[in-house]
């Protein structure tokens, strides 16, 4: 039955610990599991006994001694469960078996191994009144602080109460179960002889034992000396006295009872030992570094930061300790929450040396942080370095941008970061300007490519750097263009990038010209490749005929009068009928007298049935300078609309109205009498007045008639005067133009009316 299944089968049993499924170590007597306490998530190690008829006396003795013995160096027991013979447990602090598979790596720093051996000797010194009988590779464990401790009290007995026969039988049983040999039956020499053999194994064999230790270890292994005497001999050797870790470890054991200044003294000793031999600390037991050194360094540095306001010299002590902290943290890849808070606090400090130190280790620090932590806690302080007055700090911050960019938000990158880079690009330091271009190149793939934003940014940045007076910056710009060629589409290359590279072809430096030429050709080749694809796609289309524009220049300019004559002739040839929706008229039936006096009355008195035109113009007239009519030419083509200045553009036709044109050639024109037709029916021209004709429904919707617009004097064939301005208008534009009303202002001095303006029209000279 498996361990987990056993728990599930126990009724009414609530085990207060969470246990992992697989054991981390197994022996004939114990299965070792990692777990946590349910109440507070405390990490623990759970030893489950392999109960059996043979093992029962050994396990019972181990459980009993675990309850009553509390000696430093023994595995600290938290709780035992032995009420059920099938589920006997010993719950201890979090410990792990000695990493024998890593022994070769640990021996690279034998000083650390020597410290562990000293710890075992100290533990056995405290147990001098007891006989263990179980000292073996299976009995050494490492706690969370890297301390070497012993587990296994299956044979533990007070020396004064030892029964040699019973103890001997139990020892032989234990050795047979664990696969060990019996080194001695003498209870007084047993522990020392087992320890001597264990030391030789730990040090990699008797040949690797330090020379000044060899005699002592050999004597201990043979039972010629006690553990107490062996310890005293080691303390007099140079291996012991020159080992910096031994006194340092002793100080760390007492650190919990020291005040902050006392802890600072210990950390100063650590600082000296660390910088004397860094490799020594890099090969220590990981648990010692993670559980002892890093937490204590964190506490001391935090305390120094808190007292910096009252003790300005505290920050100078922070720098070396922070360097050790960062080095060990990265080496062990261990960054607990307390260490993260320390990093956030250090980034807020104004000391440039501290900030520079953080930038050096930033590439390896961010790997242990979440994106939210970097963008919220580190980036705001990090970006301040780009605007620092010290050029060294600005440059180091600039070089660290590619490290932090993947962890910041899109807004921080495409808004804030680019603003800082725009400033560093014009920095007084040449190295910073060159590095700015390199950094922009490295982060270019992460920039937002929406709406061509990335292409614009890169083109602008490289253009500015190509104009830099220093050759290094210009070469950096060419490097950036070469690396980012795949980020530009062919349209952007044609419109922007080639014009960016082109000035480099005329650079004063030959190296810049050479690189610019090859780069220009590379971009041009990309355009030509795209052009070949376009040619293949459009090969089925008919080819466009070439135009010889030189012939346009060789042809002489025609005579203006001949051109006007040809133009008017074309009007005569294209004339045609048109009528409004509410008017039917025959052009040939119109009386010339009507047209002769048509402009003598204000246009507002003329009915739209007669004088207001639809979408096309119905006639042209020529008037002599004295107002007499000389000719009328009928046309239905708006051929001369281009030459009207005011009236032709204001047909006053609403865009929403539909104009229907009907052919009315050959039909009689219908007229309606006005309200005063009886009084002046036979006198159209008398008094330069005309009867007002009743407006049609269509005409009532229009604001003004075409004839109501005053015309400036002048002819299409005569030169323009200051009062005659020509404007082009097509029928389509006339329909789109907004309605306007031309107001005729009276002049009290000369009393010129709209009628006079019409009579003075210079169109008569053209005809």
386 occurs within a structural domain: no
Give the per-residue pLDDT at 448. Answer: 83
Please report which helix (H) or strand (E) contains residue 96, including its range. strand 95-97
Contacts of 689 (CB under 8 A, 6+ apart): 600, 601, 680
Is 86 within a domain? yes
Phi, psi (degrees; rounded to nearest 5) at 751: 55, 50
> What would the mean pLDDT of 162-177 be, rounded to a whole number?
91
Asked whether the predicted pLDDT for residue 759 surpasses 90, the reply is no
Predicted pLDDT at 405: 94
The percent of the chain in helix, strand and coil, each rounded to the nearest 5, is: 55, 5, 40
Instruction: State mean pLDDT over 669-698.
Output: 43
Q: Residues with Cβ < 8 Å from 691, sequence gap 6 or more? A: 605, 673, 674, 676, 677, 680, 681, 684
Mean pLDDT of 110-128: 93
Report the CATH number that the domain containing residue 130 is assigned in CATH. 1.10.510.10
pLDDT tens profile 408-446: 999 999 999 999 999 999 999 999 999 999 999 999 999
Instruction: Look at 115-119, 277-281, 388-392, 702-706 and tell me which has the smallest mean pLDDT.
Output: 702-706
CA 361/CA 355 separation, integer angstroms = 10
Domain contains 6:
yes
Percent of the chain with pLDDT over 70: 71
Q: pLDDT tens across 395-404, in order?
A: 999 999 999 9
Please check whether residue 458 is in contact with residue 493, taking contact to mean a CB–CB distance below 8 angstroms.
Answer: no
Q: Which residue has the tokens 């929406």?
A: 450
Does the residue 74 lie in any domain? yes
- Tokens for 570? 């074309």
**Distance set, CA 135 to CA 156, 190, 214, 394, 502 (Å):** 11, 9, 20, 59, 81
Higher pLDDT, 596 or 333: 333
Residue 23 lies in a domain: yes
| Tens-place pLDDT, residues 670-681 | 444 444 444 444
pLDDT digits over 304-321, tens only? 999 887 888 888 899 999
Name the region of 521 (left: φ>0; alpha: ψ -120 to 50; beta: rest).
alpha
On the question of pLDDT at 188 being above 50, the answer is yes
Q: How far apart are CA 619 and CA 767, in angstroms?
A: 13
Which of 236, 254, 286 marks a domain boundary? 236
Q: Is the pLDDT of residue 120 over 80?
A: yes
Neighbours of 99 (CB within 10 A): 13
Question: What would the mean pLDDT of 41-60 be, rounded to a whole number?
Answer: 91
> Which of 186, 227, 198 is CA-nearest to residue 137?
198
The pLDDT, as a whole number, for residue 394 is: 96
Cα–Cα distance for residue pair 479/444, rounded to 1 Å: 13
Q: How confident is the model at residue 15 (pLDDT cuts 50, 70, 90)?
A: confident
Mean pLDDT of 522-533: 91
Does pLDDT of 510 surpass 80?
yes
Measured between alpha carbons, how far is 314 from 300 in angstroms, rounded to an integer? 11
The pair of structure tokens assigned to 643 is 């030459």
In sequence order, the 6+-apart residues with CB closer than 8 A to the CB of 205 are none
Alpha helices in 443-559 (DSSP H): 453-466, 471-483, 490-492, 498-501, 510-537, 550-554
Q: Measure the CA–CA gap between 436 and 461, rounded to whole angstroms.
A: 9
Q: What is the per-residue pLDDT for 574?
A: 65
pLDDT digits (tens, 9 = 90+) for 563-573: 778 877 888 76
| Residue written as token pair 């040839």 | 573
Q: In the listed set 203, 236, 269, which residue is the last one of a domain according to the structure?
A: 236
Domain end position, chosen among 214, 236, 258: 236
Q: Determine contact, residues 111/280, Cβ cutoff 8 Å.
A: yes
Give the chain's length: 767
pLDDT > 50? residue 611: no
Per DSSP, 446 falls in state G
Nearest to 92 by CA among 135, 33, 134: 33
SS (H, E, C) 666-687: CCCCCCCCCCCCCCCCCCCCHH
Report yes or no on 702 lying in a domain: yes
Query: Chain-wide mean pLDDT for the chain?
Result: 78
CB under 8 Å to 488, separation ≥6 — which residues?
455, 458, 497
399 within a domain of the structure (yes/no): no
Closest to 363 (Cα-Cα) out of 319, 330, 321, 325: 330
Q: pLDDT confidence of 63, banded at 50, 70, 90?
A: very high
Answer whether residue 390 shows pLDDT above 90. yes
Orientation angle between helical segments 187-202 and 164-178, nearest 10 degrees: 20
Biggest alpha carbon–alpha carbon distance for the chain: 163
Q: Given this model, what pLDDT does residue 2 score?
A: 53
Looking at the 3D structure of the chain, how many domains does it have? 2
pLDDT tens digits, one per residue of 93-103:
999 999 999 99
Range of the domain at 169: 1-236
Assess if residue 169 is contained within a domain: yes
């Amino acid at each position: 039955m498996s361990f987990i299944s056993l728990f599930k089968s126990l009724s009414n049993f609530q085990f207060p610990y969470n246990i992992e499924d697989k054991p981390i170590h197994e022996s004939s007597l114990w299965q070792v599991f990692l777990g946590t306490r349910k109440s507070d998530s405390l990490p623990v190690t759970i030893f489950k006994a392999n109960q059996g008829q043979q093992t029962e006396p050994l396990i019972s003795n181990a459980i009993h001694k675990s309850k009553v013995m509390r000696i430093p160096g023994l595995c600290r027991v938290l709780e035992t469960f032995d009420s059920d013979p099938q589920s006997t447990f010993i719950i201890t602090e979090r410990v792990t078996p000695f990493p024998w598979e890593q022994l070769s790596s640990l021996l690279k720093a034998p000083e650390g191994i020597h410290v562990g051996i000293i710890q075992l000797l100290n533990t056995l010194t405290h147990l001098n009144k007891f006989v263990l009988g179980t000292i073996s590779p299976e009995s050494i464990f490492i706690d969370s602080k890297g301390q070497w401790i012993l587990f296994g009290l299956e044979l533990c007995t007070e020396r004064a109460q030892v029964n040699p026969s019973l103890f001997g039988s139990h020892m032989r049983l234990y050795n047979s179960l664990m696969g060990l040999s019996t080194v001695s039956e003498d209870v007084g020499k047993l522990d020392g002889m087992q320890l001597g053999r264990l030391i030789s194994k730990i040090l990699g064999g008797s040949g690797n034992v330090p020379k000044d230790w060899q005699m002592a270890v050999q004597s201990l292994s043979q039972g010629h000396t006690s553990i107490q005497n062996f310890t005293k001999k080691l303390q007099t050797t140079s291996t012991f006295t020159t080992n910096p870790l031994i006194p340092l470890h002793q100080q760390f054991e007492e650190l919990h009872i020291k005040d902050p200044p006392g802890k600072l003294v210990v950390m100063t000793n650590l600082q000296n030992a660390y910088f004397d031999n860094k490799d020594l600390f890099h090969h220590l037991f990981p648990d010692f570094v993670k559980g002892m050194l890093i937490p204590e360094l964190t506490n001391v540095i935090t305390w120094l930061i808190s007292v910096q306001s009252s003790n300005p010299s505290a920050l100078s002590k922070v720098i070396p300790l922070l360097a050790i902290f960062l080095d060990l943290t990265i080496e062990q890849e261990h960054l607990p929450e307390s260490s993260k808070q320390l990093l956030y606090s250090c980034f807020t400090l104004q000391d440039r040396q501290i900030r520079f130190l953080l930038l050096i280790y930033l590439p390896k620090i961010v790997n242990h942080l979440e994106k939210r932590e970097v963008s919220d806690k580190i980036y705001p302080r990090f970006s301040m370095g780009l605007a620092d007055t010290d050029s060294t700090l600005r440059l180091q911050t600039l070089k660290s941008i590619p490290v932090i960019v993947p962890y910041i938000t899109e807004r921080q990158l495409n808004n804030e970061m680019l603003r800082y880079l725009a400033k560093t690009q014009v920095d007084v330091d040449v190295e910073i300007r060159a590095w700015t271009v390199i950094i922009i190149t490295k982060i270019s793939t992460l920039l937002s490519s929406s709406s061509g934003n990335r292409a614009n940014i890169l083109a602008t940045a490289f253009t500015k750097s190509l104009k830099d007076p220093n050759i290094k910056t210009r070469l950096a710009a060419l490097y950036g263009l070469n690396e980012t060629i795949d980020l530009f589409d062919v349209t952007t290359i044609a419109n922007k990038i080639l014009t960016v590279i082109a000035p480099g072809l005329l650079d004063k430096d030959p190296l810049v010209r050479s690189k610019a030429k090859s780069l220009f050709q590379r971009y041009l080749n990309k355009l030509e490749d795209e052009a070949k694809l376009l040619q293949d796609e459009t090969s089925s289309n008919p080819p466009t005929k070439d135009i010889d524009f030189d012939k346009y220049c060789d042809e002489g300019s025609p005579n203006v009068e001949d051109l006007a004559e040809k133009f008017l002739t074309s009007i005569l040839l294209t004339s045609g009928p048109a009528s409004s929706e509410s008017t039917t008229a025959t052009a040939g039936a119109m009386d010339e007298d009507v047209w002769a006096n048509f402009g003598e009355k204000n246009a507002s008195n003329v009915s739209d049935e007669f004088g207001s035109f639809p979408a096309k113009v119905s006639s042209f007239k020529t008037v002599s300078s004295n107002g007499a009519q000389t000719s009328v030419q009928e046309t239905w083509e708006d051929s001369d609309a281009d030459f009207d200045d005011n009236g032709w553009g204001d047909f006053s036709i609403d865009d929403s109205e539909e104009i229907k044109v009907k052919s009315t050639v050959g039909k009689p024109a219908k007229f309606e009498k006005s309200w005063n037709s009886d009084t002046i029916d036979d006198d159209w021209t008398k008094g330069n007045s005309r009867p007002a004709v009743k407006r049609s429904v269509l005409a009532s919707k229009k604001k003004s008639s075409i004839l109501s617009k005053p015309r400036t004097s002048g002819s299409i064939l005569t030169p323009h005067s200051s009062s005659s301005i020509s404007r082009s208008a097509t029928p389509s534009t006339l329909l789109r133009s907004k309605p306007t009303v031309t107001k005729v202002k009276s002049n009290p001095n000369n009393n010129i009316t709209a009628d006079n303006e019409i009579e003075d029209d210079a169109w008569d000279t053209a005809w």
